[in-house]
Amino acid sequence: MNPSTSASRSPLLAGVTVLELGTMVTAPLAGRMLADLGARVIKVENPAQGDPFRRHATGHDSPQFCAYNHGKESVALNLRETAGRAALLRILESADVLIDNFRPGVLARLGLDDATLCAVNPRLVRCSITGFGRDGPYAQRPAYDSVALALSGVAALTVDPANPFFSGPTIADNVTGMYACYGVLGALYRRSQTGEGARIEINMLDASVAFIPDCIAIAGHLPGRITPHTRVAISQAYAVRCADEQLLALHLSSSQDNWLKLLEVLDRQEWQQDPRFASPASRASHFYVLNEMLGEAFRARPLSHWLSVLEAADLPHAPIRNVAEIADDPQLQHLGTLEDITSTSGTSYTAVRTPVLVDGVRPPIGSAPPTLGQHTEAVLAEFSAQAPGGE
Protein backbone atom coordinates (compact mmCIF):
# COMPACT_ATOMS: atom_id res chain seq x y z
CA MET A 1 0.00 0.00 0.00
CA ASN A 2 1.37 3.38 -1.01
CA PRO A 3 1.49 5.51 2.18
CA SER A 4 0.49 8.66 0.29
CA THR A 5 -2.57 6.87 -1.08
CA SER A 6 -3.60 5.41 2.28
CA ALA A 7 -3.08 8.74 4.04
CA SER A 8 -5.74 10.32 1.80
CA ARG A 9 -8.37 7.72 2.71
CA SER A 10 -11.18 8.53 5.10
CA PRO A 11 -10.59 7.69 8.77
CA LEU A 12 -12.05 4.35 9.88
CA LEU A 13 -14.84 6.00 11.89
CA ALA A 14 -15.47 9.00 9.66
CA GLY A 15 -19.09 10.11 10.05
CA VAL A 16 -19.55 8.46 13.46
CA THR A 17 -20.67 10.82 16.23
CA VAL A 18 -20.03 9.83 19.84
CA LEU A 19 -21.44 11.54 22.92
CA GLU A 20 -19.33 10.93 26.00
CA LEU A 21 -20.84 11.46 29.44
CA GLY A 22 -17.55 10.53 31.00
CA THR A 23 -15.28 11.57 33.83
CA MET A 24 -11.84 10.50 35.02
CA VAL A 25 -10.53 7.54 32.96
CA THR A 26 -12.79 4.71 31.74
CA ALA A 27 -15.30 6.49 29.50
CA PRO A 28 -12.86 9.26 28.49
CA LEU A 29 -10.34 6.65 27.30
CA ALA A 30 -12.99 4.81 25.30
CA GLY A 31 -14.03 8.13 23.75
CA ARG A 32 -10.45 9.11 23.01
CA MET A 33 -9.75 5.78 21.31
CA LEU A 34 -12.80 6.25 19.08
CA ALA A 35 -11.62 9.78 18.31
CA ASP A 36 -8.20 8.38 17.39
CA LEU A 37 -9.94 6.29 14.73
CA GLY A 38 -11.71 9.32 13.30
CA ALA A 39 -15.01 9.55 15.19
CA ARG A 40 -16.37 12.91 16.21
CA VAL A 41 -16.46 12.81 20.01
CA ILE A 42 -18.52 15.37 21.92
CA LYS A 43 -17.70 15.36 25.61
CA VAL A 44 -20.71 16.52 27.66
CA GLU A 45 -19.64 18.06 30.97
CA ASN A 46 -21.22 19.63 34.01
CA PRO A 47 -20.89 23.41 33.47
CA ALA A 48 -20.04 24.02 37.13
CA GLN A 49 -16.83 21.98 37.23
CA GLY A 50 -16.52 19.73 34.20
CA ASP A 51 -14.64 16.46 34.35
CA PRO A 52 -12.98 16.34 37.82
CA PHE A 53 -9.76 15.20 36.12
CA ARG A 54 -9.42 18.69 34.64
CA ARG A 55 -8.15 20.07 37.95
CA HIS A 56 -6.50 16.90 39.23
CA ALA A 57 -3.48 18.01 41.32
CA THR A 58 -2.99 21.18 39.24
CA GLY A 59 -6.17 23.23 39.60
CA HIS A 60 -6.60 23.47 35.81
CA ASP A 61 -6.33 21.15 32.80
CA SER A 62 -4.05 18.51 34.28
CA PRO A 63 -1.74 16.24 32.27
CA GLN A 64 -4.00 13.35 33.29
CA PHE A 65 -7.04 15.09 31.80
CA CYS A 66 -5.13 15.95 28.64
CA ALA A 67 -3.93 12.35 28.22
CA TYR A 68 -7.50 11.06 27.95
CA ASN A 69 -9.26 13.89 26.15
CA HIS A 70 -7.49 15.07 23.04
CA GLY A 71 -9.43 14.96 19.79
CA LYS A 72 -12.75 15.93 21.42
CA GLU A 73 -15.21 18.79 21.60
CA SER A 74 -16.56 19.96 24.96
CA VAL A 75 -20.19 20.91 25.53
CA ALA A 76 -21.31 22.11 28.97
CA LEU A 77 -24.85 20.99 29.87
CA ASN A 78 -26.63 20.68 33.20
CA LEU A 79 -28.46 17.38 32.79
CA ARG A 80 -30.42 17.99 35.99
CA GLU A 81 -32.25 20.80 34.23
CA THR A 82 -34.94 20.34 31.59
CA ALA A 83 -33.11 22.50 29.07
CA GLY A 84 -29.89 20.52 29.44
CA ARG A 85 -31.61 17.18 28.98
CA ALA A 86 -33.55 18.48 26.00
CA ALA A 87 -30.34 19.69 24.37
CA LEU A 88 -28.68 16.32 24.94
CA LEU A 89 -31.63 14.43 23.47
CA ARG A 90 -31.60 16.72 20.45
CA ILE A 91 -27.97 15.79 19.77
CA LEU A 92 -28.69 12.11 20.40
CA GLU A 93 -31.33 12.07 17.66
CA SER A 94 -28.54 11.93 15.08
CA ALA A 95 -25.66 10.54 17.16
CA ASP A 96 -24.29 7.02 16.81
CA VAL A 97 -22.87 6.23 20.25
CA LEU A 98 -23.50 7.30 23.84
CA ILE A 99 -20.88 6.37 26.45
CA ASP A 100 -21.29 6.96 30.19
CA ASN A 101 -19.51 5.82 33.33
CA PHE A 102 -22.13 6.73 35.92
CA ARG A 103 -23.18 4.41 38.72
CA PRO A 104 -26.15 2.17 37.88
CA GLY A 105 -29.43 4.07 37.83
CA VAL A 106 -28.01 7.59 37.42
CA LEU A 107 -29.07 8.00 33.79
CA ALA A 108 -32.56 6.74 34.60
CA ARG A 109 -32.89 9.27 37.44
CA LEU A 110 -31.92 11.98 34.96
CA GLY A 111 -34.76 10.89 32.66
CA LEU A 112 -32.34 9.25 30.23
CA ASP A 113 -33.32 5.61 30.71
CA ASP A 114 -32.97 3.04 27.94
CA ALA A 115 -36.58 3.34 26.82
CA THR A 116 -36.24 7.11 26.38
CA LEU A 117 -32.94 6.81 24.52
CA CYS A 118 -34.26 4.10 22.20
CA ALA A 119 -37.37 6.13 21.45
CA VAL A 120 -35.22 9.11 20.50
CA ASN A 121 -32.81 7.04 18.37
CA PRO A 122 -33.38 3.28 17.86
CA ARG A 123 -30.00 2.99 16.09
CA LEU A 124 -28.07 4.38 19.04
CA VAL A 125 -25.26 2.28 20.54
CA ARG A 126 -25.46 2.85 24.30
CA CYS A 127 -22.31 1.92 26.22
CA SER A 128 -22.58 1.89 30.01
CA ILE A 129 -19.42 1.55 32.11
CA THR A 130 -19.80 0.74 35.81
CA GLY A 131 -17.64 -0.49 38.63
CA PHE A 132 -19.32 -3.84 39.22
CA GLY A 133 -22.22 -4.20 36.80
CA ARG A 134 -25.78 -2.92 36.84
CA ASP A 135 -26.89 -5.18 39.73
CA GLY A 136 -25.55 -7.56 42.35
CA PRO A 137 -24.18 -7.09 45.88
CA TYR A 138 -21.50 -4.55 44.89
CA ALA A 139 -23.45 -2.64 42.23
CA GLN A 140 -23.82 0.63 44.14
CA ARG A 141 -20.34 0.69 45.67
CA PRO A 142 -17.86 3.34 44.55
CA ALA A 143 -15.19 1.86 42.28
CA TYR A 144 -11.69 3.07 41.54
CA ASP A 145 -8.66 1.48 39.94
CA SER A 146 -7.16 -0.02 43.12
CA VAL A 147 -10.53 -1.43 44.23
CA ALA A 148 -10.99 -3.32 40.96
CA LEU A 149 -7.37 -4.50 41.04
CA ALA A 150 -7.82 -5.84 44.57
CA LEU A 151 -11.06 -7.74 43.90
CA SER A 152 -9.94 -9.15 40.55
CA GLY A 153 -6.74 -10.73 41.83
CA VAL A 154 -4.49 -8.40 39.85
CA ALA A 155 -3.24 -6.65 43.00
CA ALA A 156 -2.21 -9.99 44.50
CA LEU A 157 0.11 -10.35 41.50
CA THR A 158 1.76 -6.96 42.06
CA VAL A 159 1.60 -6.16 45.78
CA ASP A 160 4.30 -7.59 48.04
CA PRO A 161 2.48 -8.99 51.12
CA ALA A 162 5.60 -8.41 53.24
CA ASN A 163 5.65 -4.70 52.34
CA PRO A 164 2.20 -3.93 50.95
CA PHE A 165 1.58 -0.84 48.89
CA PHE A 166 0.23 -0.15 45.42
CA SER A 167 2.56 0.83 42.63
CA GLY A 168 2.63 1.06 38.88
CA PRO A 169 0.31 2.50 36.24
CA THR A 170 -3.46 2.74 36.03
CA ILE A 171 -4.52 -0.74 34.91
CA ALA A 172 -8.17 -1.47 35.75
CA ASP A 173 -9.39 1.92 34.51
CA ASN A 174 -7.44 1.65 31.27
CA VAL A 175 -8.38 -1.91 30.35
CA THR A 176 -12.04 -1.13 31.10
CA GLY A 177 -11.94 1.78 28.68
CA MET A 178 -10.32 -0.43 26.06
CA TYR A 179 -12.93 -3.15 26.45
CA ALA A 180 -15.64 -0.49 26.18
CA CYS A 181 -14.18 0.71 22.88
CA TYR A 182 -14.00 -2.91 21.70
CA GLY A 183 -17.68 -3.44 22.54
CA VAL A 184 -18.73 -0.24 20.80
CA LEU A 185 -16.87 -1.17 17.62
CA GLY A 186 -18.57 -4.57 17.56
CA ALA A 187 -21.98 -2.95 18.03
CA LEU A 188 -21.32 -0.46 15.24
CA TYR A 189 -20.40 -3.30 12.90
CA ARG A 190 -23.60 -5.22 13.73
CA ARG A 191 -25.62 -2.06 13.23
CA SER A 192 -24.08 -1.65 9.78
CA GLN A 193 -25.48 -5.10 8.93
CA THR A 194 -28.87 -4.94 10.68
CA GLY A 195 -29.63 -1.29 11.41
CA GLU A 196 -30.13 -2.18 15.08
CA GLY A 197 -28.73 -0.24 17.99
CA ALA A 198 -27.34 -2.02 21.05
CA ARG A 199 -26.77 -1.74 24.77
CA ILE A 200 -23.15 -2.48 25.67
CA GLU A 201 -22.25 -2.98 29.34
CA ILE A 202 -18.72 -3.07 30.74
CA ASN A 203 -17.65 -3.11 34.37
CA MET A 204 -14.24 -2.64 35.94
CA LEU A 205 -14.26 -5.89 37.89
CA ASP A 206 -15.04 -8.03 34.83
CA ALA A 207 -12.53 -6.16 32.69
CA SER A 208 -9.75 -6.57 35.25
CA VAL A 209 -10.35 -10.31 35.50
CA ALA A 210 -10.44 -10.54 31.70
CA PHE A 211 -7.04 -8.84 31.63
CA ILE A 212 -5.36 -11.85 33.31
CA PRO A 213 -6.76 -14.93 31.51
CA ASP A 214 -3.43 -16.76 31.71
CA CYS A 215 -3.20 -16.30 35.48
CA ILE A 216 -6.80 -17.44 35.95
CA ALA A 217 -6.04 -20.58 33.94
CA ILE A 218 -2.77 -21.24 35.79
CA ALA A 219 -4.47 -20.89 39.18
CA GLY A 220 -6.60 -23.95 38.53
CA HIS A 221 -3.58 -26.15 37.84
CA LEU A 222 -1.08 -25.13 40.51
CA PRO A 223 -1.27 -26.04 44.19
CA GLY A 224 -1.42 -23.13 46.61
CA ARG A 225 -1.85 -19.48 45.79
CA ILE A 226 -0.35 -17.76 42.78
CA THR A 227 2.28 -15.23 43.87
CA PRO A 228 3.58 -12.12 42.09
CA HIS A 229 6.40 -14.30 40.75
CA THR A 230 4.46 -17.33 39.49
CA ARG A 231 3.98 -16.07 35.96
CA VAL A 232 7.48 -14.57 35.64
CA ALA A 233 9.04 -17.81 36.88
CA ILE A 234 7.21 -19.76 34.17
CA SER A 235 8.18 -17.14 31.59
CA GLN A 236 11.75 -16.97 32.90
CA ALA A 237 11.69 -13.18 33.12
CA TYR A 238 14.47 -11.54 35.12
CA ALA A 239 15.43 -8.04 36.22
CA VAL A 240 19.13 -7.67 37.05
CA ARG A 241 21.43 -4.86 38.15
CA CYS A 242 24.62 -4.19 36.21
CA ALA A 243 27.99 -2.94 37.47
CA ASP A 244 27.02 0.70 36.81
CA GLU A 245 23.75 0.26 38.81
CA GLN A 246 21.64 0.30 35.64
CA LEU A 247 18.79 -2.22 35.41
CA LEU A 248 18.34 -4.77 32.64
CA ALA A 249 15.42 -7.03 31.70
CA LEU A 250 15.77 -10.55 30.28
CA HIS A 251 12.98 -12.79 29.02
CA LEU A 252 14.12 -16.31 28.20
CA SER A 253 10.67 -17.92 27.88
CA SER A 254 10.68 -21.71 27.53
CA SER A 255 13.30 -21.74 24.78
CA GLN A 256 16.20 -24.06 25.59
CA ASP A 257 18.17 -22.26 22.89
CA ASN A 258 17.83 -18.94 24.75
CA TRP A 259 19.09 -20.58 27.93
CA LEU A 260 22.16 -22.06 26.23
CA LYS A 261 22.99 -18.78 24.49
CA LEU A 262 22.75 -16.93 27.80
CA LEU A 263 25.18 -19.35 29.44
CA GLU A 264 27.61 -18.72 26.62
CA VAL A 265 27.26 -14.94 26.96
CA LEU A 266 27.85 -15.19 30.71
CA ASP A 267 30.60 -17.82 30.35
CA ARG A 268 28.71 -20.06 32.76
CA GLN A 269 28.49 -23.22 30.65
CA GLU A 270 28.95 -25.33 33.79
CA TRP A 271 25.37 -24.43 34.77
CA GLN A 272 24.25 -26.85 32.05
CA GLN A 273 25.24 -29.69 34.35
CA ASP A 274 23.21 -28.39 37.28
CA PRO A 275 20.05 -30.53 37.55
CA ARG A 276 18.14 -27.56 38.99
CA PHE A 277 18.39 -25.84 35.62
CA ALA A 278 18.10 -28.79 33.25
CA SER A 279 14.72 -27.87 31.77
CA PRO A 280 12.34 -24.91 31.61
CA ALA A 281 10.18 -26.53 34.31
CA SER A 282 13.12 -27.08 36.65
CA ARG A 283 14.38 -23.55 36.10
CA ALA A 284 10.91 -22.26 36.99
CA SER A 285 10.93 -24.39 40.16
CA HIS A 286 14.27 -22.89 41.18
CA PHE A 287 13.47 -19.37 40.00
CA TYR A 288 14.65 -17.56 43.13
CA VAL A 289 18.00 -19.34 43.22
CA LEU A 290 18.59 -18.70 39.53
CA ASN A 291 17.50 -15.10 39.86
CA GLU A 292 20.16 -14.56 42.54
CA MET A 293 22.85 -16.30 40.50
CA LEU A 294 22.06 -14.27 37.40
CA GLY A 295 22.10 -11.10 39.49
CA GLU A 296 25.62 -11.87 40.66
CA ALA A 297 26.79 -12.62 37.12
CA PHE A 298 25.43 -9.41 35.61
CA ARG A 299 27.00 -7.30 38.37
CA ALA A 300 30.37 -7.94 36.75
CA ARG A 301 29.95 -5.59 33.77
CA PRO A 302 28.15 -2.29 32.96
CA LEU A 303 24.87 -2.08 31.07
CA SER A 304 26.52 -1.03 27.79
CA HIS A 305 28.53 -4.26 27.70
CA TRP A 306 25.51 -6.46 28.30
CA LEU A 307 23.39 -4.65 25.72
CA SER A 308 26.08 -5.26 23.12
CA VAL A 309 26.65 -8.96 23.80
CA LEU A 310 22.99 -9.80 24.32
CA GLU A 311 22.05 -8.16 21.03
CA ALA A 312 24.82 -10.05 19.26
CA ALA A 313 23.45 -13.28 20.73
CA ASP A 314 19.89 -12.39 19.63
CA LEU A 315 18.59 -12.78 23.19
CA PRO A 316 15.36 -11.02 24.30
CA HIS A 317 16.49 -8.13 26.51
CA ALA A 318 16.02 -4.41 27.15
CA PRO A 319 17.27 -1.74 29.52
CA ILE A 320 14.68 -0.91 32.16
CA ARG A 321 13.98 2.71 31.40
CA ASN A 322 12.32 5.33 33.54
CA VAL A 323 9.08 6.58 31.93
CA ALA A 324 10.69 10.01 31.53
CA GLU A 325 13.47 8.41 29.47
CA ILE A 326 11.42 6.58 26.86
CA ALA A 327 11.02 9.65 24.63
CA ASP A 328 14.72 9.28 23.79
CA ASP A 329 14.41 5.65 22.73
CA PRO A 330 15.43 5.39 19.06
CA GLN A 331 12.75 2.82 18.18
CA LEU A 332 9.95 4.92 19.70
CA GLN A 333 11.32 7.96 17.88
CA HIS A 334 11.33 5.99 14.63
CA LEU A 335 7.75 4.84 15.20
CA GLY A 336 6.53 8.35 16.08
CA THR A 337 4.71 7.05 19.13
CA LEU A 338 4.88 10.24 21.19
CA GLU A 339 3.91 13.79 20.32
CA ASP A 340 4.29 16.99 22.31
CA ILE A 341 1.03 18.91 22.52
CA THR A 342 -0.19 22.11 24.13
CA SER A 343 -3.81 22.09 25.30
CA THR A 344 -6.16 24.93 24.49
CA SER A 345 -5.67 26.25 28.02
CA GLY A 346 -1.89 26.22 27.62
CA THR A 347 -0.92 22.99 29.40
CA SER A 348 2.03 21.29 27.69
CA TYR A 349 2.26 17.50 27.82
CA THR A 350 3.45 14.47 25.86
CA ALA A 351 0.62 12.59 24.18
CA VAL A 352 0.67 8.94 23.14
CA ARG A 353 -0.54 8.43 19.58
CA THR A 354 -2.77 5.48 18.78
CA PRO A 355 -0.76 2.27 18.28
CA VAL A 356 -3.13 1.26 15.46
CA LEU A 357 -1.73 1.86 11.98
CA VAL A 358 -4.29 1.97 9.16
CA ASP A 359 -2.91 0.92 5.79
CA GLY A 360 0.56 1.57 7.14
CA VAL A 361 -0.24 5.05 8.43
CA ARG A 362 -0.71 6.12 12.04
CA PRO A 363 -3.82 8.33 12.34
CA PRO A 364 -3.19 11.90 13.51
CA ILE A 365 -3.67 12.69 17.16
CA GLY A 366 -6.49 15.16 16.55
CA SER A 367 -7.22 18.46 18.24
CA ALA A 368 -5.82 19.49 21.60
CA PRO A 369 -7.96 18.77 24.67
CA PRO A 370 -10.80 21.31 24.81
CA THR A 371 -11.47 23.85 27.50
CA LEU A 372 -14.67 23.33 29.49
CA GLY A 373 -17.66 24.17 27.29
CA GLN A 374 -15.46 25.39 24.44
CA HIS A 375 -17.85 24.09 21.77
CA THR A 376 -21.20 24.47 23.54
CA GLU A 377 -22.59 27.31 21.46
CA ALA A 378 -21.50 25.92 18.10
CA VAL A 379 -22.66 22.35 18.77
CA LEU A 380 -26.06 23.37 20.15
CA ALA A 381 -26.63 25.66 17.20
CA GLU A 382 -25.65 22.89 14.78
CA PHE A 383 -27.96 20.28 16.23
CA SER A 384 -30.84 22.72 16.74
CA ALA A 385 -30.66 23.49 13.04
CA GLN A 386 -30.78 19.75 12.26
CA ALA A 387 -33.85 19.14 14.45
CA PRO A 388 -37.28 18.97 12.83
CA GLY A 389 -38.55 22.52 12.45
CA GLY A 390 -35.08 23.93 13.15
CA GLU A 391 -33.82 26.90 11.23
Q: Which of 135, 160, 173, 274 is catalytic?
A: 173
What type of residue sits at position 124? Answer: L
Structural contact between residues 63 and 349, judged by C-beta atoms closer than 8 angstroms: yes
How many C-beta atoms lie closer than 10 Å to residue 311's C-beta? 10
Query: 363 Cβ partners below 8 Å, 6+ apart?
Result: 11, 12, 36, 37, 38, 353, 354, 356
Classify the C-alpha dihedral 102-59-32-10 as positive or negative.
Answer: positive
173 is catalytic: yes
What values do phi and psi take at 78, rounded to 5? -95, 105
Structural contact between residues 67 and 43, judged by C-beta atoms closer than 8 angstroms: no
How many C-beta atoms lie closer than 10 Å to residue 203's C-beta? 26
Residues with catalytic roles: 173
